[in-house]
Amino acid sequence: MDKEKFGIFIGRFQSFHLGHQSVIDQIITDGLTPIIFVGSSQEFNTEKNPYHVQDRMKMIQLVYPDIKVFAIQDKSCWDEWHTLLTNSIKLVVTTELSDITMYCHDKEEDRHDKFTFRGKDYFNEFYSKMYEIDGMSVKELVISDIPVRAKLIREDLEANKHFLDPRVYRFLSSMSLKVGTTYSINAIPCTIVGYNYDSDYSIKVESPKGLPMSYRPGQLKERL
C-alpha cells in the first residue's frame, strides 16, 4: 500500500469561493489527502474578516464534508506562526513533514523585499519559502482563471454569487436572516426560528398551519 501523503491549503476563506475549490480539487487530482487550515481564526466581525472561524469552516464542510478542516491563529511573528503550524501538522496530520505538499497561491503583492525567519534574512521571497526550509514541498497555483476576489463577494453577494457553490451562497444569504425576524412568504408572515445545518442549508420558520416549515433563503421576501 502506498504511503498516504497530504496536500495542505491555508486561507482565510472570507468567503469560501470557487477559486478555493479549484485548489482543493487539484489536491485531490494530484492523489493527495486534502487538509485545510483556516487562518486568522481569531479574527471576525471586521471589514477584512467579517465571518467567524466556525462559519468559515462550515462553508468548506458544506462542499467537502469528508475533508478535515482545522483552525490556526495569527501570531506576532512568522517564527511563532510557523512553529504553531508545524506543531499542528505533526499533531493532527503526520509527523513526517516530507509527506506534506503545501498548496499556495502567492500574489505578487505578497512578495517581500526582506523578511527574517529563524534568525536569517530572506530577500525578494514569499513567506512560502518557510515550508521548503522545513522539508515540505510547495506547489504554486493560480486560483482559477477568473478574477475571483472574496472582497467583491463580501461587498455584493448577489452580484457575485456565480463565484460561489450554491450551498455556500445559501449559507451566506441565510446569515443576514436573523432568528426572531418576520418575513413574507407567499404574502403570509412567517417568523424565523432557526436553521437547518444540512447540505442544503435552509431556514426553519414558524408559520401558519399548512405551510412548509423550511425554506431556502431566496424564498423569504420582504422583511415585515
Among 134, 150, 166, which residue terminates a domain?
150
- Evaluate whether 37 touches 70 at the Cβ level (below 8 Å): yes
What is the CATH number for 41? Answer: 3.40.50.620
Residues 57 and 140 reside in one and the same domain? yes
Nearest residue to 221 via CA among 170, 191, 183, 172: 183
Q: How far apart are CA 157 and CA 182, in angstroms?
A: 22
pLDDT of residue 135: 94
Residues 141 and 200 reside in one and the same domain? no
Flag whether 28 is in a domain.
yes
pLDDT of residue 119: 87
Flag whether 12 is in a domain.
yes
Residues 20 and 124 reside in one and the same domain? yes
Flag whether 1 is in a domain.
no
Residues 33 and 129 reside in one and the same domain? yes
Flag whether 172 is in a domain.
no
Residues 118 and 223 reside in one and the same domain? no
How many angstroms separate the most distant Cα atoms in the chain?
A: 69
Q: How far apart are CA 134 and CA 83, in angstroms?
A: 10
Residues 19 and 69 reside in one and the same domain? yes
For 49, the domain range is 6-150
Residues 88 and 34 reside in one and the same domain? yes
Query: What's the pTM value of the predicted model, to 2 decimals?
Result: 0.78
How many domains in the chain? 2
Residues 142 and 38 reside in one and the same domain? yes
Tell me: the pLDDT tens digits for 95-144?
Answer: 999 999 999 887 777 788 888 888 888 898 888 889 999 999 999 887 65
Nearest residue to 162 via CA among 2, 19, 13, 43: 19
Tell me: the pLDDT tens digits for 135-184?
Answer: 999 998 876 544 567 888 888 888 999 999 999 998 888 776 666 777 77
